[in-house]
């Protein structure tokens, strides 16, 4: 089995170090720690891709270069088509890493099969794949002062 790990974020310098790019930032750190090669642009998949192996298991890291709300299109293009024998279901082997305003800053939660909880990038993936049966690594960005009134401006 292979794994596709997708870090969610928005492309461009102006978003590079924002809270909403926690998925991109996490994938960058993962790639460095595990000796993955530099991310390269795949125009076919509208994504920056790095491929490597962990314990003889192929792992593809992807940072969609569409904006957050269109992440599903990229994820769908990266997954094998049904019936090709690599994965029996579209979400199997898929891990999505993203920010979560409902989790305290510095905390991480792992879930599988849950809804989007209002996260537009996750919502886009659920709609594109027609399933929520994939693993999510949720990185907390909730400030100590509590949830801001205007979450979109905060992230």
Distance CA 102, CA 117 (A): 9
Tokens of 152: 């979109």
Distance CA 144, CA 150 (A): 16
Burial class (CB in 10 A: 0-12, 13-18, 19+), 84: exposed
Check: CB of residue 86 under 8 Å from CB of residue 80: yes
* Catalytic sites, residue numbers: 20
Check: CB of residue 9 under 8 Å from CB of residue 23: yes
Distance CA 43, CA 31 (A): 20
Distance CA 155, CA 151 (A): 6
């Amino acid at each position: 089995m292979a794994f596709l790990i997708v870090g969610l974020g928005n492309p461009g310098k102006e978003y590079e170090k924002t809270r909403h790019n926690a998925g991109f930032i996490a994938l960058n750190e993962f790639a460095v720690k595990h000796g993955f090669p530099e991310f390269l642009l795949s125009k076919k998949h509208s994504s920056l891709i790095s491929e490597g192996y962990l314990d003889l298991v192929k792992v593809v890291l992807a940072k969609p270069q569409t904006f957050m709300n269109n992440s599903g299109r990229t994820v769908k293009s990266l997954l094998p088509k049904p019936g090709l024998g690599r994965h029996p279901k579209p979400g199997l082997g898929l891990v999505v890493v993203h920010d979560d305003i409902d989790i305290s800053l510095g905390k991480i939660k792992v879930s599988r099969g849950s809804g989007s909880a209002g996260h537009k990038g996750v919502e886009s993936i659920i709609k594109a794949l027609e399933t929520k049966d994939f693993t999510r690594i949720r990185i907390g960005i909730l400030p100590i002062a509590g949830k801001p009134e205007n979450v979109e401006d905060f992230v």
